[in-house]
Structure 1
Amino acid sequence: MTPTADLFATMRAHVVEALTQILPELPPEAFARVLVEPPKDAAHGDMATNGAMVVAKQAKMPPPKLATALCEKLRELPVVVEATPAGPGFVNLRLDEGFIRAVVPAVLLAGPAYGDGPARDGGPVNVEYVSANPTGPMHVGHCRGAVVGDALALLLRKAGYDVTREYYVNDAGAQVLALAYATYWRYLQALGTPMTEEDYAQSVPGGLQYKGEYLVPVGVALRQIFRESLAEPGGMPAPATLWLDTVRDFTVEAMMSAIREDLAALGVQHDVFISERAIVAEGWLEKAEATLSAKDLIYTGVLEPPKGKTPEDWEPRPQVLFRATQFGDDVDRPLRKSDGSGTYFANDVANHLAKIERGFPQLVQVWGADHGGYVKRMQAAVAALSDRKVSLDVVLTQIVHVVKDGEPVRMSKRAGTYVTLRDLIDEVGKDAVRFTMLTRKADAQMEFDLNKVIEQTRENPVFYVQYAHARCRSVLRSAGDPAQADLAQVSLDQLTDPSELALIRRMAVWPRTVEAAAAAREPHRIAFFLQDLASDFHVLWNRGRDDATLRFIRAEEPEATQARLALVAATSVVLRSGLAVMGVEPVEEMR
């Protein structure tokens, strides 16, 4: 049979064609919700379709009756062995084994492109992730968002989207101001100031907030470049007007350089870095206000007390408010405080207008779960600024608890208060960190067990998937690494064992998995798929150990050997494809 890259897309086309023949009066859009999926129970067949059920209402036919007619049509196809009505309008399909086996040469001929989606017409997608305040080393909390965001960007590209990966640098708030004061203390230390840290802290607005050792080299670098010019004689503090801008800019750049290094160590990349201060300086807040004002979406008003506060605890103040409730938010949101300065939300509104003006009709952002209450207001702002033409999807990531030997990992000495990302990478390696972070849905809390991540057991998904690829490579090396193009031409008729066919069926699901995971913004589905694929391969490997006739290489059976080598090569292609979406390097052999 002709190699078929996407069995499910092919069968969906057959189902839609059959329904069109049965119901020629219905327009093409009537079949938009027709799906062909793996059945919930493998005993029911190879695929199932909801076609009859979703079309029945427009066809003015009972779903079971339409399902029966659809089965009759589908049985006419040479690739359909059995079509059976089920439930309230589903149809279960059992397919010709030759049609299923055609997946193998399709995979081998497509290579890394197997599973790639078609180029999308909806315009480019902006994926923003990490966006950590540049106030210190990246920690484990940042790590999960970084991995999820990076894998999501890779997944969307695999699915056919034009993706821009963005980091939004929060360099305009009070935290960065506090960071500058902390760095200035390290600078004074480098000058040999006689002041104690406590004495200096008393002169800092809000106290000395950042005390990690990571600022020591920044202070030393400031002394080397600026000497004593930023301080009073004797290394004493000078007025902030003399040094604040210089120290803040220098520190932010130093922190961002360290963050870029940490991200690179994790294999995380961004195409652009956008500065919040630059957004403000370029007047995007004023542009956003003008845009919303022209649509009568801004007014001066007084908000009700927040939940949990009584009127006695709340001082009502006139503020510039955005009519967020017109776009699904719970309350209207302030853009400017009573003193006229912009709110934190206002700067985010400005940033999103800049994204819209840069031509992104789809925005995807990865936030920590503690920002969950912020989603509605930001989606309201994007809808208002774009006349509902731009979408904003937010993926929330829950916290990660790092444990070793059953106990929480001690805090990092370098960071002072938390486990750094670099600590984690140094402990178990980039690939183990990335894979493990994707073994749970992003909004589910997870425990990162340093012992389990490096265990070489089937309970460790990182090892289990990598071991499957290493086994594939071992078989192919033993056979002299035959070319994929040559293996794509061999006869596969001898691939009849249920475990062989189960492995092919799993590979057939890969294009659909990519499509569904991208649409749902859920890269963890790729990790789940790889674990299932690895399991199917290990089952076949182990069966070969017990049954010599199922071994991959048998000198006395050259045709069967070639067919199984094609199967192994196709498995390795799909494993590499999935690992590439996760940003994980496949291993050639396990050590």
Structure 2
Amino acid sequence: MLDFYSYVRSLVGGFLFSCFLDYISHDDLSDVLERSEVVSAKKSAYGDVSVNIAFLLSKLLSKSPKEIANVLIQEMGDHPDINYCLIGGIGFINIFFNTNVISKFCININSSGLSYGSIPVDKNGRKVNIEFVSANPTGPLHIGHVRGAIISDVLANVFTILGYIVTREYYVNDAGVQIDKLVQSVLFRCYEILGLNLEHQCLEYSGDYIVDIAKLILLKSNNNIEYISMNEKWIRSFILEHMMSLIRKDLESLRIKHDVFVYETQLYQSDDFEDSISLLTDKNLVKEMLITEPPKGKKDESWMTREALVFKSTDFGDNEDRILKKADGSWTYFASDIAYHYNKIKRNYDLLILSLGDDHKGYAKRIYSVVEALSDKKQNMYINFYDLVNFFELGERVKMSKRSGKFFGLQDLLDIVDIDTLRFFMLTRNSNVTLDFDIDKVKNDSKDNMLFYVQYACVRARSVISKTNIEVDYTDDSFDLYALVSDVERNLIRILLKWPIVLRSVEKTYEPSKIVFYLYDVAEQYNVFWSMGKSMSNMRVIVSDDLQLTKARLVLSCAVKNVISVGLELLNITVQKEM
């Protein structure tokens, strides 16, 4: 069954073609229909939905939107599903549907259950790759990683429910300089634990977890420092395996499971490096260039002018060409990214999504340019940026760093805040807005705690259904909700019917916070309705002298429970049965 808004679009499309096909081509009308918007009316006085299609036809017909809207309204007035239509403003078409139509779609929420708003895979079947987290394996995840992880995980859930075949991917940078520094930091701690006198070093990584892994290495090697010194390859592999184990544990704590882990070292062992650079060379996008200045932030007195292999990213709007090989002949981090995205492109995804922190925005242009060049502009890609998280405890901001040792990891956070609260709260701001995480606020059981407020509305609806002894078929689509006439009830129905378009909005904008805001709207409207029943007996769910009204409100409450449950499931948050 079509969702309500797909049905309205289809209905409007029929009137569009019947009225104007003699004056506008089929392709142009199809384009107008595609670009048109069907939105929920803000108030009952404005109808159930409002359509802007007259504005899009105005230029094509050389008529005012109001004239066009009048033509459409006259055609629409005789349809059995429509009660009547009005013109809003200078050309919006406000449609009032018969209650049996609204009832059918509202009850469909209950019939669909947890699949409400979803699309079967065979209706779409497009392949999407979402790469997220991809933190360097130099320590456990911190709260900054957590936000991007949750945003991307929910985004993956949305694409899945909309019929996409989704791959969750993690790229492991296990071949870079930071890994060398990590190994050096661990080895220093090994020597220190054994009491060896070493000159003080400025360690890149100095958290407690570095000491823990040093102790494990000593245990494995029976404190044999000579063995440790002679087996750097084993040491490196052991450290990386341990770090990835910590990261996987953190991801599991977040209820996140990646489908694929791609290691940078694997790319070096494959043909992807050579093949990707060769492909760019064949396209005349790689050249030797004289480098006269050291890289930014790396002033070195030993720096000398030299020739370097570069990618001509300025051809794609970048502000400078990018170096592919270092002075020692090793590949740059950017060259690894080229090989990695070449590897992705070979796997034939319809869409690549890359999640990056806001501090990586300067990297976007070169990544887009490489993907465009490697795929001949055929590969769709979107980089989804998320802003930083400021963590507050007892009114003070807490700073954290893996390198300084003042590290606030995920496990530390989960000792204070439960995982449901964490996942929900990380989505309470748009991704591109800085998030202030205040422990004291998120632990309060009040309206200020958005998750508590949403869960409470769901529990209320579930409770009133479970306690009644009135027999109701919650999935009978022939049941008419005509008794629901108050503004708060009609507004609530309109909000419930919006869920499928909320999902499509997340799909188009890559912004899963829309789900949290939507669930809060549902909860707020239902809680308003519930509160009205405390002071007005005729507004209670159970009205003792009106069975039809009671049944209608029970059906509505069931729809509220189901929509909130669907939304929380999509966020991978436990749906509370009681509170």
TM-score when scaled to structure 2?
Answer: 0.92
Determine the C-alpha separation between the residues in 2 that align with 1:476 and 1:436. Answer: 29
Tell me the percent identity.
34
CA contact (8 A) 1:103 1:504 kept: no
Determine the C-alpha separation between the residues in 1 that align with 2:393 and 2:114. Answer: 37
Gap change, CA 1:79 and 1:395, over 3 Å in 2: same
Report how many aligned residue pairs link the two structures: 571
- Return 528-537 or 387-396, whichever deviates more: 387-396
SS at match of 1:65: helix
Matched, 1:76 2:78: yes
Gap change, CA 1:188 and 1:125, over 3 Å in 2: same
- Report the equivalent of 2:420: 431
- How many Å apart are 1:111 and its aligned residue? 0.8
- How many Å apart are 1:549 and its aligned residue? 1.8
- Report the equivalent of 1:138: 141
- Report the equivalent of 1:395: 384
Matched, 1:562 2:562: no
- How many Å apart are 1:338 and its aligned residue? 4.1
Determine the C-alpha separation between the residues in 2 that align with 1:453 and 1:413. Answer: 25
- How many Å apart are 1:189 and its aligned residue? 4.3
CA contact (8 A) 1:52 1:66 kept: yes
- Return 429-438 or 403-412, whichever deviates more: 403-412
- Report the equivalent of 2:446: 457
Determine the C-alpha separation between the residues in 1 that align with 2:317 and 2:264. Answer: 26
| Residue deviations 1:46-91 (CA, integer Å, cap 9, x gap) | 2222212223334454433322212222222233333233455432
- Report the equivalent of 1:264: 252
- Report the equivalent of 1:232: 226
Question: Residue type matched to 2:568 in 1?
Answer: L
- How many Å apart are 1:492 and its aligned residue? 2.5
Question: Residue type matched to 2:379 in 1?
Answer: V
SS at match of 1:584: coil
- How many Å apart are 1:470 and its aligned residue? 1.4
| Residue deviations 1:265-309 (CA, integer Å, cap 9, x gap) | 111221111111211222311111011122222122246869999
Match of 1:377 among 358, 366, 387: 366
Matched, 1:11 2:14: no
Determine the C-alpha separation between the residues in 2 that align with 1:452 and 1:100. Answer: 39
CA contact (8 A) 1:16 1:34 kept: no
User: After superposition, where does 1:264-413 map in structure 2 within 5 Å?
Assistant: 264-302=252-290, 316-409=305-398
CA contact (8 A) 2:353 2:381 kept: yes
Question: Residue type matched to 2:26 in 1?
Answer: P
SS at match of 1:360: coil
Determine the C-alpha separation between the residues in 1 that align with 2:313 and 2:107. Answer: 54
Determine the C-alpha separation between the residues in 2 that align with 1:499 and 1:287. Answer: 62
Determine the C-alpha separation between the residues in 2 that align with 1:421 and 1:36. Answer: 42
| Residue deviations 1:450-479 (CA, integer Å, cap 9, x gap) | 111011111221111111111122112212
CA contact (8 A) 2:128 2:350 kept: yes
SS at match of 2:267: helix
- How many Å apart are 1:515 and its aligned residue? 0.6
Determine the C-alpha separation between the residues in 1 that align with 2:472 and 2:346. Answer: 48
Match of 1:149 among 124, 142, 152: 152
Match of 1:183 among 163, 173, 186: 186
- How many Å apart are 1:125 and its aligned residue? 0.4
- How many Å apart are 1:484 and its aligned residue? 6.5
Matched, 1:492 2:481: yes
- Return 6-15 or 116-125, whichever deviates more: 116-125
Determine the C-alpha separation between the residues in 2 that align with 1:413 and 1:481. Answer: 59
CA contact (8 A) 1:108 1:573 kept: yes
- How many Å apart are 1:555 and its aligned residue? 4.5
Determine the C-alpha separation between the residues in 2 that align with 1:365 and 1:554. Answer: 52
Gap change, CA 1:480 and 1:325, over 3 Å in 2: farther
- Report the equivalent of 1:67: 69
User: After superposition, where does 1:157-172 map in structure 2 within 5 Å?
Assistant: 157-172=160-175
Gap change, CA 1:482 and 1:584, over 3 Å in 2: farther
Determine the C-alpha separation between the residues in 2 that align with 1:72 and 1:317. Answer: 76
Gap change, CA 1:484 and 1:356, over 3 Å in 2: farther
Matched, 1:254 2:242: yes
SS at match of 2:550: helix
Question: Residue type matched to 2:212 in 1?
Answer: P
Question: Residue type matched to 2:187 in 1?
Answer: Y
Determine the C-alpha separation between the residues in 2 that align with 1:413 and 1:339. Answer: 28
Determine the C-alpha separation between the residues in 2 that align with 1:88 and 1:566. Answer: 37
CA contact (8 A) 1:166 1:272 kept: yes
- How many Å apart are 1:483 and its aligned residue? 7.9
Question: Residue type matched to 1:57 in 2?
Answer: K
Question: Residue type matched to 1:124 in 2?
Answer: K
Determine the C-alpha separation between the residues in 2 that align with 1:582 and 1:194. Answer: 51
- Report the equivalent of 2:56: 54
- How many Å apart are 1:147 and its aligned residue? 0.7
Gap change, CA 1:76 and 1:305, over 3 Å in 2: farther
- How many Å apart are 1:216 and its aligned residue? 2.5
- How many Å apart are 1:316 and its aligned residue? 5.0
| Residue deviations 1:492-528 (CA, integer Å, cap 9, x gap) | 2322222122111100000011011111100000001
SS at match of 2:288: strand
Determine the C-alpha separation between the residues in 1 that align with 2:187 and 2:545. Answer: 77
User: After superposition, where does 1:514-525 map in structure 2 within 5 Å?
Assistant: 514-525=503-514
Determine the C-alpha separation between the residues in 1 that align with 2:190 and 2:296. Answer: 43
- How many Å apart are 1:558 and its aligned residue? 3.2
CA contact (8 A) 1:363 1:391 kept: yes
Specify every segment of 5 or more residues in structure 1 that has no aligned partner in the other structure, as ranges: none
Question: Residue type matched to 1:182 in 2?
Answer: S
Determine the C-alpha separation between the residues in 2 that align with 1:499 and 1:523. Answer: 26
- How many Å apart are 1:323 and its aligned residue? 2.4
CA contact (8 A) 1:167 1:272 kept: yes
Determine the C-alpha separation between the residues in 1 that align with 2:497 and 2:449. Answer: 25
User: After superposition, where does 1:37-48 map in structure 2 within 5 Å?
Assistant: 37-39=39-41, 43-48=45-50
- How many Å apart are 1:122 and its aligned residue? 7.0
Determine the C-alpha separation between the residues in 1 that align with 2:221 and 2:514. Answer: 52
User: After superposition, where does 1:56-135 map in structure 2 within 5 Å?
Assistant: 56-87=58-89, 89-117=91-119, 119=121, 121=124, 123-135=126-138
CA contact (8 A) 1:5 1:106 kept: no
- Return 505-514 or 257-266, whichever deviates more: 257-266
Specify every segment of 5 or more residues in structure 2 that has no aligned partner in the other structure, as ranges: none
| Residue deviations 1:233-291 (CA, integer Å, cap 9, x gap) | 9xxx73xxx23221111111111111111111111221111111211222311111011
Matched, 1:478 2:480: no
Question: Residue type matched to 2:268 in 1?
Answer: V
Determine the C-alpha separation between the residues in 2 that align with 1:359 and 1:369. Answer: 28
Gap change, CA 1:86 and 1:413, over 3 Å in 2: closer
- How many Å apart are 1:41 and its aligned residue? 6.4
Question: Residue type matched to 1:461 in 2?
Answer: M
Determine the C-alpha separation between the residues in 2 that align with 1:8 and 1:553. Answer: 30
TM-score when scaled to structure 1?
Answer: 0.90
SS at match of 1:232: helix
SS at match of 1:163: strand
Match of 1:194 among 193, 196, 207: 196
SS at match of 1:210: coil
Match of 1:218 among 213, 218, 235: 213
Gap change, CA 1:538 and 1:485, over 3 Å in 2: closer
CA contact (8 A) 1:108 1:484 kept: no
Gap change, CA 1:85 and 1:312, over 3 Å in 2: farther
Question: Residue type matched to 2:46 in 1?
Answer: H
